[in-house]
Amino acid sequence: MRYGVLSDIHGNLPALAAVCEAMPPVDAYLCAGDVVGYNPWPGECIEWIREKAVVTVRGNHDHAVATDGGDWFNEMGRAGVTYSRRELDRAELRWLDSLSTHETVASGDVLLVHGHPDDPDRYTYPDSFSAAMLRENYRVVITGHTHIQGHREFEQGIVMNPGSVGQPRDGDPRAGFAVLELDGDTGRPTVEEHRVEYDIERVVDAVADAGLPMRIGTRLRQGK
């Protein structure tokens, strides 16, 4: 079974479209949260996720858009949440609110969370991934939240972050995603990390047209 693994799309439709075009053949998609926030295509990104029947968990921006507005976010985060709440219809907001913080797939072999198995809001960077995260005999734990691509292999299995589709923060402006294969030739899970270029200037222009803080778009040029 091959999974296309996404995270932190953040309403960036051009990046999502580029990832979809570059994705190798997969059997299903998984998303580690934050479909919306920051960028100005929240509805279109939700539509794609729902049409593809992607197994998705709730990120902190998804939660803020669906519930309390995210007053604790910085200016860019708050602006993206406010914009999404204004643009989305009730059905889309209900869908965001319906998302769980934890999902399992592949007969329980894979755990999908946004931040950390013990706390969906905890930033857990790849250099902090540990075998302890592979609790309850999971073979793979998928995280997001940090926007930093990476994975670590342990005797028990793999902990991975596919990177951010819509707002990479590792200095590489290309959209990040991964392919997870279970029970391939090696009999062990394997991860392929990918990056793809997309039209960042289209996003910069759309951010300006939407009246969002310009830094939301311009930071994408540096992958920050």
The full set of domain ranges for the chain reads 2-222
pLDDT at 185: 58
Q: What is the dihedral of CA 42, 17, 112, 163, to 10 degrees?
A: -100
Phi, psi of 116 (to 5 degrees): -155, 150
CB-based contact 33:62 (threshold 8 Å) = yes
How far apart, in whole angstroms, are the C-alpha atoms of residue 49 and residue 87?
17
Phi, psi of 161 (to 5 degrees): -130, 120
Question: Hey, is 217 helix, strand or coil?
Answer: helix
How far apart, in whole angstroms, are the C-alpha atoms of residue 218 and residue 207?
9
CATH superfamily of 2-222: Metallo-dependent phosphatases (3.60.21.10)
Q: How far apart are the first and last CA of the chain?
A: 33
How far apart, in whole angstroms, are the C-alpha atoms of residue 23 and residue 114?
21
Query: How many CB atoms neighbour CB 154 within 10 A?
Result: 13
- Which tokens is 102 given? 């934890």
CB-facing half-sphere around the CA of 171: CA atoms within 13 A: 0
CB-based contact 176:164 (threshold 8 Å) = yes
Q: At what angle do helices 42-51 and 90-98 cross, to 10 degrees?
A: 60
pTM of the full structure: 0.96
pLDDT at 188: 87
pLDDT at 183: 81
pLDDT at 186: 63
Q: Which residues of the chain have pLDDT under 50?
A: none
How far apart, in whole angstroms, are the C-alpha atoms of residue 119 and residue 164?
19
pLDDT at 68: 77
How far apart, in whole angstroms, are the C-alpha atoms of residue 193 and residue 180?
9
Query: How many CB atoms neighbour CB 93 within 10 A?
Result: 18
pLDDT at 194: 98
